[in-house]
Amino acid sequence: MIAEEKNRNVFFLILVASLGYFVDIYDLLLFLIIKNKSLAALGVPADKITETGLSLMNWQMAGLLIGGIFWGILGDKKGRLSVLFGSILMYSAANIANGFVTSIPLYAALRFIAGLGLAGELGAGITLVSESMSKEKRGYGTMLVAGIGLSGAVAAYLVGDHFEWRTAFFVGGALGIVLLLLRIGVFESGMFQTMARKEVSKGNFLMLFSSRKRFFRYLNCILIAIPLWFVVGILIGIAPDFGRALHAKEVLDNGKGVMFAYIGISLGDFLTGALSQVFKTRKKIVFVFLTLTFLTILFYLLNTGWTATGFYTLCVLFGIFTGYWVVFVTIAAEQFGTNLRATVTTSVPNMVRGSLIPVTLLFQWLRGNTGIINAALYVAVITVGLAYIALYNLDETYGRDLNFIEE
């Protein structure tokens, strides 16, 4: 009976974490999907939309970066549930307010606040699931959270494409409020409750920098996933620009591209999560899919005459190959002790998302000097190269007992 009740609790936890990540991805990707028509409606000139859109995206990413640290620390000090409730209230309110925006400065401020809120969702959910399941099966739990959650991008595209952009923001806020009611039945991590009674430093972000070994472990967790956001945020995010440079036969719709990419990422999360369990390795799976990502980038940038159908097919492949996202987040959770786990697991994905700021700045600078295609190739080589080095230096964590403390 006790085992059955525990299984029900774990199942409900996975369901709620999955739906939470679904809403997170919906809100996170909605701006990428509707930015052009929202900016046009706000009176931004056509030749300034790409520049303004990248600037607003950077504000959102800055919020994610700061929020990842804030919510992670809170999760280790006050509990994982406090993050799940607080973060969703913040981003739901911000997205409802976004539906009333009338100026670019206000738009930027609200994207920043939404980013702050969105930063807490995935890390808290993955931490809770990882600490609530056995070391042999937790990979399947995190796989379900990410795989189901990422389909929120499809919902974002369908709503963003068929409804007025303000309505799309209202829908996101409403989904968050509904989800908040579901979370009432979620239980706190037993591993956290045990750790909370001990006299140890909890959620001390500076601990990540107090040890050279710990710092590089943290940095390497971030670097292995930076190519993912380069693909989504730049290669697909400004697809119309790439289409013109590659002499595409049709306009490449970045919103539709994001939707197809996230269909692929959802499939890729299921695939990489399952493969990491079957072959009992996280690192080798990431290596294979990182390599496939790089080869697909080269195929995209070194071919011309793309059709819309060919591009959207490529976006699905991009998604499948960058679908090692779930394995990357699981690796981060398994690398650190219980007193720093939420801090790391919440901040690392948002450091990756926030890395789009320097990556975008580098890309824009190179674009002005070498052209859009060469700039993308250079950035791809740099980000993927760093990811390979970081992956090599990380420990294999499959099957690791997570009940330990960082001293």
Q: Please check whether residue 179 is in contact with residue 19, taking contact to mean a CB–CB distance below 8 angstroms.
A: yes
Q: Is 213 exposed, middle or buried (0-12, 13-18, 19+ CB in 10 A)?
A: exposed
Q: Please, what are the domains in the chain?
A: 2-189+208-393 (1.20.1250.20)
Quote the CA–CA distance of 180 and 268 in Å, as a whole number: 28
> What's the distance, Cα to Cα, between the start and end of the chain in Å?
37
Which residue's structure tokens are 């269909």? 263
Which residue's structure tokens are 């300034």? 48
What secondary structure letter does DSSP report for 307? Answer: -
Q: Please check whether residue 168 is in contact with residue 9, taking contact to mean a CB–CB distance below 8 angstroms.
A: no
> What pLDDT does 1 receive?
46
> What pLDDT does 30 receive?
83
Quote the CA–CA distance of 203 and 357 in Å, as a whole number: 26
Q: What are phi and psi of 211, to 5 degrees?
A: -130, 130
Q: Please check whether residue 37 is in contact with residue 49, taking contact to mean a CB–CB distance below 8 angstroms.
A: no
> What pLDDT does 105 receive?
92
Nearest CA to 346 among 51, 42, 79?
79
Which residue's structure tokens are 């011309």? 304
Q: Which residues contact 22 (CB under 8 A, 6 or more apart)?
A: 148, 149, 150, 151, 152, 155
> What pLDDT does 8 receive?
72
Nearest CA to 278 among 398, 391, 392?
398
Which residue's structure tokens are 């990491």? 276
Residues of the chain short of pLDDT 50, as ranges, are: 1-2
Quote the CA–CA distance of 82 and 338 in Å, as a whole number: 16
> What pLDDT does 83 receive?
85
Nearest CA to 146 among 325, 397, 335, 352?
325
Q: What are phi and psi of 249, to 5 degrees?
A: -80, -20
Q: Is 70 exposed, middle or buried (0-12, 13-18, 19+ CB in 10 A)?
A: buried
Q: Please check whether residue 57 is in contact with residue 104, taking contact to mean a CB–CB distance below 8 angstroms.
A: no
Name the pTM for this structure.
0.84
Q: What are phi and psi of 373, to 5 degrees?
A: -70, -50
> What pLDDT does 6 receive?
63
Rg value, the chain, Cα: 20
